[in-house]
């Protein structure tokens, strides 16, 4: 029986030379009704499928780099809440959380793609969000914990968001991290 920590949907065969090695999609929440599909890789081992995802680390690294490459194509444009790039942005820390890739590498990629300088013309609320997720990623890295997936909008967030984000910025502190857009 294939058991996983969350909902799994069978995927395609991974390698023709290993026909009993399969992908399965694991959907990781990142925002209200929004999920990133992370491939879990399972291989048949005598009587059951075993998770062998960590043996395919280079494939996950390539997926993360592909997200960075796609995001770089959008640099120079404003980032908006409805922008398709938000899923790509969250793909990076989620892959690094879920696959055993080095957190330092994930932090570097995440800090690059969330740099507000790459998103000129972005409104102040979105810049505040970028600043907050960057600060949280650095704090998580320093504490040796998985990256928090910090949602932009969810039904449970208090309104107005400006006040909520400003309160989060105060908790982080303005001396170590640039959260100027949140004040």
Query: Is residue 3 pLDDT above 50, yes or no?
Result: no
87 vs 154, more confident: 87
Nearest residue to 98 (alpha-carbon basis) of 179, 8, 32, 2:
8
Least confident of 64-68, 110-114, 124-128: 124-128
* Dist CA 130 CA 133 (whole Å): 5
Sheet holding 48-51, edge to edge: 8-15, 18-31, 34-45, 48-51
53 vs 131, more confident: 131
Could you tell me if 167 and 173 are in contact, meaning their C-beta atoms sit under 8 angstroms apart?
no
Peptide bond into 42 cis (omega under 30): no
Residue 13 pairs in a beta bridge with 22
Regarding pTM above 0.85, the answer is: no
In a 13 Å sphere around the CA of 147, the CA atoms on its Cβ side amount to 34
From the CB of residue 157, how many other CB atoms can be counted at a distance below 10 Å?
A: 13
pLDDT in tens, 135-154: 999 999 999 999 987 766 54
- C-alpha of 54 from chain center: 18
* Dist CA 132 CA 139 (whole Å): 11
């Amino acid at each position: 029986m294939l058991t996983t920590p969350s909902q799994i949907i069978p995927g395609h065969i991974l390698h023709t030379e290993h026909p009993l090695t399969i992908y399965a999609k694991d959907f990781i929440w990142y925002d209200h009704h929004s999920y990133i599909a992370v491939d879990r890789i399972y291989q048949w081992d005598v009587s059951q499928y075993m998770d062998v995802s960590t043996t395919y680390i280079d494939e996950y690294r390539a997926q993360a780099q592909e997200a960075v490459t796609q995001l770089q194509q959008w640099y120079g444009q404003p980032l908006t809440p409805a922008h398709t790039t938000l899923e790509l942005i969250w793909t990076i820390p989620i892959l690094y959380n879920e696959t055993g890739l080095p957190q330092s590498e994930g932090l570097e990629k995440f800090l690059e793609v969330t740099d507000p300088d790459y998103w000129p013309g972005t409104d102040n609320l979105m810049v505040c969000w970028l600043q907050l997720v960057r600060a949280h990623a650095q704090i998580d890295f320093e504490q040796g914990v998985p990256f928090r997936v910090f949602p932009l909008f969810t039904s449970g967030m208090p309104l107005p968001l400006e006040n909520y984000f400003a309160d989060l910025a105060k908790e982080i502190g303005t001396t170590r991290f640039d959260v100027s857009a949140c004040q």
